[in-house]
A and B are shown apart, each in its own frame.
Chain A
Amino acid sequence: MKIETSEFICTIGCVGIIPLVLTIPTFNAQTYGTGAMAHTLYSFLMNAIILFLLFHLYFQFSNQDIIDISEYVGGSFLKILTTVLASVYLITSAVLVLVEFNENIRNILFQNAPSDYIYLIFLVGLVIGVFHGLKGVFRAATIFAPLILMSLIFMFLSLYQDIDITNFTPIFGNDMFLFWKDALKIEFFEGMLLILLLGNTLKNPKKAAIWSYLFIAFIILLITVLLYGIIPYPSITENYFPFFELSRLMSFGRFWQRVESLYTFIWLIAVYIYISIGTSYTVFLLSKVCHLNFGYRIAPLISLLVISLARFFVSYPDIIHTRKFLTNYITPYVALGYPLVILLLATIKKRSQIHETNS
């Protein structure tokens, strides 16, 4: 069963709105001030370059995923290291998203509910999602992605009049040096790195890479323009749920106001897809590496693991700090640096092998 390009792009689209819904635009605003918008565009460019490099290297090894490649480079040690890193990374991001959403949900919908209650509801969806496997989640995402895209476009149409271009200026924001220094904000395009893990399960990885990049860039652009354009700089840094705030601003006349609940619906679906992808991919990886024939049987176990890890986080500042730490110090190295190194090594090895056979 191959994953089709359209399925992949749609899934990445669903996953792509997660950083928007989370606090990443706020972090950017805190760091770059009014330059956040310009920096987003700048990081699009830089990300495109680095991702092009990464995928260019990767596509030399067709029909192989990063785990096979690391096995090729460094034997079973690297294979296991990569698997562990990937699983830990996937689970961590799933956990963090879950924790943050739990907090948000409790703030918005269930003010008096204990956090375990929300986790329980998440768990039900998660286990069913994971139980049906990657394929199921990818397919379901194909249904939801157009829905999400349409709702985002609807949001843009209803709010674009409020955009004040002067909010994008001064164009370099807080600090010129800082602006140019942090070029790689990979967290927007995190989802694209799934291509490395999917290997030959993906039908047309090249097409998938290009289109998913464009899709995510479009979504991010649509919303960040609204966000930075409508809420001016000093106030936006206080907002830890900017996407929700935007949906609260929407109004079409006197009748169509207060549609943010509909948007909670949209991002809840996105969250379900995100955590299901993360968890079910971990299941997939484990069953691949450990040669499990009935991988789906460990699905409830891994889901429970995700939920129980999420329960370790208690306070909201904790979560924010962890996320900041992760986005600044872990993600660039684990999600981008590590595969890049592996691919470079593999390329060198391959080249030298070809050289040897030729001579």
Chain B
Amino acid sequence: MKQTLNLFLLLLLCLFLTGCYGKAELDDLAYVIAMGADIAPNGKEGEIQITYQVAIPLKITGENNETGKKTFTTYTTCAPSLSIANSQINTVSSKKIDLSHVSLILYSKELAQKGLEGHVNSLISNVAIRPRTIVAICKESAKEFLENVTPTLESSPARYYDLLISSFQETSRSAKTEILDFYTASQSIDRVPIAAICELNDHHEAKFSSVAVFRGLQYIGELKESLLMGHLLLTSTFHKASLAIPYPEESAKNITITIQAKQKPIIHVTITNGVPHATILLRVDSHLDSNGSSIDLYQTKTMEELNTLIEEKIKQIVDDYLQQTITLQADSAGLGKFAKKNYLTWNAFQKENWKEIYPNLTYQIQVESNLNVSQIIHNSLPEFPK
């Protein structure tokens, strides 16, 4: 018994003496908040220019911190892979580069047009990179974006990106494109990957609008910003959007409606002789925001009319969206997923070759809106004298 105990103590001693692998002091690390990739300016094949945006904790927590000031620094290098880039940057940066807090991965449009094979794979296989990290396409160069972006309301860039990206729930003008989803879509045969598009405005503020559509991992086009609501509705990621409905009788004035998702879309896709056909049923809740017209919405008839107008408007948006995907020949809405259930085995579905037959898509859209008019009470009050 005593011997065993001694043996153990010896073993434990060994453990504690052999050093602590993987140990890193929290303040000895440089936390990369966003990273970007561009085509290498030196034009070398197989190299990309990687830019890291690293937060400076002291500036964020410092006593006289102000918003609108830069609380980060950037490091740029050209390297064939992520780990080489890390080691190259570590020669400059005093702290060790840590990728576990990356919340935004940017690719320049140029690079995306050349294709992102290899880059996305290396990110996916990296344990430090979160599967839920946002991937976005930058209209200008990623380096420029990361160097110049200036958050106005936040001191922490990480919070800035997180909040900015999740604002799509309010606006319905962008989409949350996570890297795992981006990657799995690129591998799958029933849909294509998409990535949010971002750019800097004149005040050096980031703006996320619209999404880029890929085929495989190659950029092929961009969806119209105004049609993105259709995309969100079909992929059941829609939360809320505002629509302005011109009322036929007073077309100069608009009635503003807020649309909210009621339930997931009901989509059935069948393929007959190489022609896919989709039936789509969308159910939404609508709320009246403001009524700029003098129409009395208190009437049941007018309400029904308005509801039909809303339904038609949404239908129009979804229709336009699908038309655009057909033109791009890319199933960004992932309608192929719904065709799978008609097949018993994977091979049978694979034979249909969804990506090839997608442009032949015919569809039928039905929208059911449920107009909530509780706010109409205000409008039933006598109008103010003009």
A176/B21 contact (C-beta < 8 A), A248-B131, A249-B131 known: no
Kindly state the separation between the CA atoms of A254 and B11 in the bound complex, as whole angstroms: 42
- Tell whether A174 is near chain B: CB-to-CB under 8 Å: yes
- Shortest CB–CB separation between residue A350 and chain B, in angstroms? 44
- Tell whether B162 is near chain A: CB-to-CB under 8 Å: yes
Chain B contacts for A172, CB-based, 8 A:
344-345
CB <8 Å contact, A234 and B187: yes
- Tell whether A218 is near chain B: CB-to-CB under 8 Å: no
Q: Looking at the complex, which one of B7, B100, B346 makes contact with A33 (CB distance below 8 Å)?
A: B346
Kindly state the separation between the CA atoms of A34 and B127 in the bound complex, as whole angstroms: 26
Kindly state the separation between the CA atoms of A173 and B340 in the bound complex, as whole angstroms: 11
CB <8 Å contact, A169 and B22: no
For chain B, the count of residues having a C-beta within 8 Å of the partner chain is 34
CB <8 Å contact, A113 and B22: yes
- Tell whether A300 is near chain B: CB-to-CB under 8 Å: yes
The stretch of B12-20, B218-226, B254-262, B365-373 that contacts the partner chain? B12-20
- Tell whether B183 is near chain A: CB-to-CB under 8 Å: yes
Kindly state the separation between the CA atoms of A302 and B345 in the bound complex, as whole angstroms: 47
CB <8 Å contact, A254 and B130: no
CB <8 Å contact, B12 and A124: yes
Q: Looking at the complex, which one of B162, B187, B346 makes contact with A235 (CB distance below 8 Å)?
A: B187
CB <8 Å contact, B188 and A234: yes
The stretch of A49-57, A104-112, A268-276, A332-340 that contacts the partner chain? A104-112
Mark each residue of chain A from 163 to 193: 1 if its CB lies under 8 Å from any CB of chain B, else 0. Answer: 0101101111111100000000000000000
Chain A contacts for B345, CB-based, 8 A:
35, 170, 172-176
In the complex, the chain A residue whose C-beta lies closest to that of B269 is A166
Kindly state the separation between the CA atoms of A231 and B344 in the bound complex, as whole angstroms: 20
CB <8 Å contact, A170 and B344: yes
A173/B132 contact (C-beta < 8 A), A109-B22, A117-B18, A234-B187 known: no
A112/B341 contact (C-beta < 8 A), A235-B184, A249-B180, A258-B100 known: no
Kindly state the separation between the CA atoms of A170 and B338 in the bound complex, as whole angstroms: 10
Chain B contacts for A175, CB-based, 8 A:
345, 347
CB <8 Å contact, A34 and B183: no
CB <8 Å contact, A166 and B337: yes
Interface residues of A in 114-146 (CB under 8 A from B): 117, 120-121, 123-124, 127-128, 131
Chain A contacts for B348, CB-based, 8 A:
170
A166/B15 contact (C-beta < 8 A), A173-B346, A232-B188, A234-B187 known: no
Kindly state the separation between the CA atoms of A174 and B8 in the bound complex, as whole angstroms: 51
- Shortest CB–CB separation between residue B167 and chain A, in angstroms? 13
- Shortest CB–CB separation between residue B5 and chain A, in angstroms? 10
Kindly state the separation between the CA atoms of A105 and B377 in the bound complex, as whole angstroms: 63
Mark each residue of chain B from 75 to 115: 1 if its CB lies under 8 Å from any CB of chain A, else 0. Answer: 00000000000000000000000001000000000000000
- Tell whether A27 is near chain B: CB-to-CB under 8 Å: no
- Tell whether B247 is near chain A: CB-to-CB under 8 Å: no
Chain A contacts for B344, CB-based, 8 A:
170-172, 176
Chain A contacts for B299, CB-based, 8 A:
none
Please indicate which of the listed interface residues A107, A233, A258 has the most CB atoms of chain B within 10 Å of its own CB: A233
CB <8 Å contact, B11 and A120: yes
Q: Looking at the complex, which one of A107, A131, A231 makes contact with B127 (CB distance below 8 Å)?
A: A107
In the complex, the chain A residue whose C-beta lies closest to that of B349 is A170
Kindly state the separation between the CA atoms of A336 and B273 in the bound complex, as whole angstroms: 48
- Tell whether A352 is near chain B: CB-to-CB under 8 Å: no
- Tell whether B201 is near chain A: CB-to-CB under 8 Å: no
- Tell whether A76 is near chain B: CB-to-CB under 8 Å: no
Report A's interface with B, CB cutoff 8 A. Answer: 33-35, 107-113, 117, 120-121, 123-124, 127-128, 131, 164, 166-167, 169-176, 231-235, 245, 248-249, 251, 254, 257-258, 300
Write 16 A-B pairs (CB below 8 A) sorted by A numbering: A113-B22, A120-B15, A124-B8, A128-B8, A170-B343, A170-B344, A175-B347, A232-B188, A234-B184, A235-B188, A248-B132, A257-B130, A257-B132, A258-B130, A300-B4, A300-B7
Known: A124-B11, A171-B341, A232-B184. 19 other contacts (CB 8 A): A34-B340, A108-B127, A109-B22, A111-B21, A117-B21, A120-B14, A120-B15, A121-B15, A124-B12, A131-B4, A166-B340, A171-B344, A234-B189, A235-B183, A235-B184, A235-B187, A249-B180, A254-B162, A258-B100
